[in-house]
Amino acid sequence: MGATKVSEDYLRQEVKIPADSVTLEGELIIPADAKGIVLFAHGSGSSRHSPRNKYVAEVLRNAKLGTLLFDLLTAEEEVVDIRTRHLRFNIDLLAERLVAAVNWLRGLEDTRQLMIGLFGSSTGAGAALVAAAELGDAIRAVVSRGGRPDLAGKRLGRVEAPVLMIVGGLDKAVIGLNELAYDQMTGCEKEIRIVPGATHLFEEPGTLEMVAEMAAEWFVKHLK
Q: Give residue-wise pLDDT tens across range 22-35.
A: 999 999 999 999 99
Structure pTM? 0.92
Domain boundaries, the chain: 34-222
Selected residue with higher pLDDT from 142 and 7: 142
Class for the domain spanning 34-222: alpha beta
109 CB burial (10 A radius; 0-12, 13-18, 19+): exposed
> How many residues are recorded in the chain?
224
pLDDT tier at 50, thresholds 50, 70, 90: confident
The mean of the pLDDT values for the chain is 91
Q: What phi-psi label fits residue 22: left (phi over 0), alpha (psi between -120 and 50 degrees) or beta?
A: beta
Quick: pLDDT tens for 87-123: 667 899 999 999 999 999 999 998 999 999 999 999 9
